[in-house]
Chains A and B, each alone.
Chain A
Amino acid sequence: MSQTRPQSALANRGDVVLRCTGLHRYLGEGEGRVHVLRGVSFEGERGKVCAIVGPSGCGKSTLLYLMGLLDRPDDGQIELNGQTVSNHDDVARTAARGAHIGFVFQFHFLMLEFTALENVLMPMRKLAKLQPAEMEARAHALLGSVGLGAKTHRLGTQLSGGEQQRVAIARALANEPALILADEPTGNLDVKNSAMVFDLLTQLAKENNQAVVLVTHNPEIAQRCDLTRPMRDGVFV
């Protein structure tokens, strides 16, 4: 968990992992078509935790899906590790997601028919960079670090909302992604667990030189981030 990757050690602080320029996104069809993102530019830097804040419905999740390559912008560019990926085909974008991005969804967190451990193993098995035994060890360690070491074999259905959310965070970290995107990672957590999850993300950003972008409504959390970007009606203000 806390071992430092060689390339991270060499990288300068301030390295830009993610660069978005002039993103536009329309949602809905016909009459209901809404201009959700109106020219958003953003940079995610290694070793920094950035918070995106703003009122409900201002487009935070929409922006995060674009950054996570889950959705395509109507206009604008997304660069990941210096490569423009917004116009890549599905296979390339999927590969980039698996190798470089860890995503924590706002609502649906886990595959419920699978245990906590299996959920964390899922991205590692796809990437297939580690041996099965190493994957298991890493998954156990990750679950331990989010305080679920004792519940690794619980099915998703047997975990509380907050526990599911913590498993989802462990899963997002599984492949040591350069970029961690988390949509309200502390939304369902009590004060103690919120602090734990936030500390974990900050620690990772510092030790592994990973970029963390999170959406939060929690002012305390936002305040403790390296950077806060307030958003309103589809643009940063």
Chain B
Amino acid sequence: MSNNLRIGFRFLTAKKRAMLMSLACTILGVGLFVVTQATTSGFKVVFLRTLLGTNGAIRVEDRIQDTMRSMSAPGGSDFQILQKEGVQYIEGVEEPRRVIAAVREFTNVRGASAVLHGNVQLTSSFRSTDAQAYGVQIEDHLQVSDLAQQIAAGNLDNFRRSPSDVIVGRVIADRLQLAINDWFTVTARGESRRYRVAAVFETGVRDIDRARLYVDLSEARSLLKRPSGASFIQVSLFDPNQAPADALRMTEVLSHSVTPWQKREEVWLGVFDALQISSGITVTVFTLIASLAMFNTLAMIVIEKTKDIAILRSMGYERRDITQIFLWQAGIVLGIGSALGALFGAAVTFAVSQLPLSITGIFTTSTFQVAWDPMHYFEAVATAVVMVMVASIIPARRAARLEPGDIVRGTAQ
């Protein structure tokens, strides 16, 4: 054990009560920081899993058309300016087969599914509601979504048995009071057709569950009167974190507008980030108290131990040694506080993850969600180290600046 550490430890334990305050706050600060980060990112992970499982990682839509437009210069001269006028979009994917083939060339792509969607009205014997019909080739779509896991009633085999079988969202089924194998009417472009409920899906995202029904792609073409093309191509990736880079390259290669999920869900991601940061800042108050308590403890020890400081200096201990002796004391509190704080944080995180909590709306969960991420522990400890150390430098340096001559004269007189 380093000699200065040994001296620091002895100084510190002589002021146990003051030190315990700082230690307790360090433990709370580190622990609660971990808990807030674990829960906020836990919910974020579930939310993203839901959205990736429903809408995929990347969406290829609207073909890009570069246009050159000519414009007359002002003043009536016949001088003309050729201007490249940004990008113009042509709605939808005109040749889904070709685009899917090109998309599949990307190594990170797991699957691609053409989707044709359009507004429809659903009518049961009870009431009617507006919805969006999603025409999909079910085998393709299962590759780019968690639809199979989202089936809440009925099954996919029902869907496969005939073009009249459709999958409706949970909220639609409730609102129209539809059970499996019930028939209902879908009206699109002035024409009505009868369909049967093959299955009910639930994503937990209310906006989707109340407005979407899945129809076989060829049936959707005839229903929506779109014999060719697709509204968009939904793409799933092996590594969703690569989505922005892949999307950028796809835009170039495919000449279509390509949106990664990070861009699509920007608003929600922002909300979760803000939550994570604000809850982190809130619990940093404990770390702040820990650093103030540490400052106070060390300032007290400096005053009480001035004579010891003079003795140490008379024996050849340098100013640097005195600074170290006091910083070690902060180090001891930080070491113990961080270790216990991390354990405390892990324990509370585990306890919280066992709490029942029913959320639906933006995602569905029945328990508190937590994420286990070493980064949270690192961030918590780093925050504590920085704050407590900064607070400790001042008394440590004051101790080091003391002149042994001044101290001993104060004692001697």
Contact = CB atoms under 8 A, between A and B. Distances in A.
Contact of A123 (B315, B319, B405): B315
A98 B404 CA distance: 14
B10 A122 contact: no
A97 B411 contact: no
Interface stretch (A66-74, A77-85, A203-211): A66-74
Nearest to B13: A113
Nearest to A72: B405
A68 B311 CA distance: 12
Chief secondary structure at chain B's binding surface:
helix
A145 interface: no
B81 interface: no
A127 interface: yes
Contacts of B3: 125-126
A61 interface: yes
B319 A70 contact: no
A9 interface: no
Interface residues of B, number: 25
Contacts of A113: 10-11, 13-14
Q: Please indicate which of the listed interface residues B308, B312, B316, B404 has the most CB atoms of chain A within 10 Å of its own CB.
A: B316
Nearest to B311: A111
Contacts of B409: 27, 61-62, 65, 71
Interface residues of A, number: 32
Interface in A76-131: 90-91, 94-95, 97-99, 103, 105-108, 110-114, 122-123, 125-127
Given A106-B412, A125-B3, A70 B10 contact: no
B397 interface: no
A62 B312 CA distance: 19
Given A65-B409, A113-B11, A108 B404 contact: no
A71 B412 CA distance: 14
A5 B412 CA distance: 34
B317 A65 contact: no
Interface in B1-36: 3, 10-11, 13-14
A111 B308 contact: yes
A71 B405 contact: yes
Given A70-B404, A105-B311, A111-B311, A94 B411 contact: no
Nearest to A90: B319
B339 interface: no
B10 A97 contact: no
B313 interface: yes
18 contacts: A65-B405, A65-B408, A65-B409, A68-B314, A70-B404, A71-B405, A91-B319, A103-B314, A105-B411, A105-B412, A108-B307, A108-B408, A111-B312, A112-B308, A122-B311, A122-B315, A126-B315, A126-B316
Given A70-B313, A113-B10, 20 more contacts: A27-B409, A62-B409, A71-B403, A71-B404, A71-B405, A94-B313, A95-B318, A97-B313, A97-B315, A98-B317, A108-B311, A108-B408, A111-B308, A113-B11, A114-B10, A122-B311, A122-B312, A123-B315, A123-B316, A127-B316
